[in-house]
């Protein structure tokens, strides 16, 4: 599951706005806006959530789950490795 905080942090790492994320994920801008307005875990249609996570993955962002290994043991995001910017 992804949180709204992770979505905003991942966008910030990539330097993209909500509109660009919507285009990369193949979902509408209002869908991204609703997801980021969620408290805690993002609520939405599973297919849309999957598209957003896949878009971040293709762009090189690693979403760290609640119990996944990280230095502090919490949720977060990190870049997998530097690469070219995502294509629009």
Phi, psi of 48 (to 5 degrees): -65, -40
pLDDT classification of 78: cutoffs 50, 70, 90: low
Average pLDDT over residues 2-30: 94
Give the pLDDT score at 41. Answer: 87
Query: Are residues 86 and 14 in contact, defined by beta-carbon separation less than 8 angstroms?
Result: yes
Q: Which CATH architecture has domain 4-79?
A: Orthogonal Bundle (1.10)
3-state class percentages of the chain: helix first, strand second, coil last, to nearest 5: 50, 10, 40
Structure tokens at 23: 């285009």
Q: How far apart are the first and last CA of the chain?
A: 25
How do the domains of the chain map onto residue ranges? 4-79
- pTM for the whole structure: 0.78
């Amino acid at each position: 599951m992804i949180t709204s905080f992770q979505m905003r942090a991942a966008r910030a790492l990539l330097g993209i706005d909500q509109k660009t994320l919507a285009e990369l994920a193949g979902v509408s801008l209002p869908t991204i806006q609703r997801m980021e307005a969620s408290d805690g875990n993002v609520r939405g249609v599973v297919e849309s959530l999957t598209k957003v996570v896949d878009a971040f993955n293709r762009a090189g962002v690693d979403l760290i789950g609640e119990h996944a290994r990280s230095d502090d043991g919490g949720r977060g995001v990190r870049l997998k490795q530097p690469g070219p910017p995502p294509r629009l």
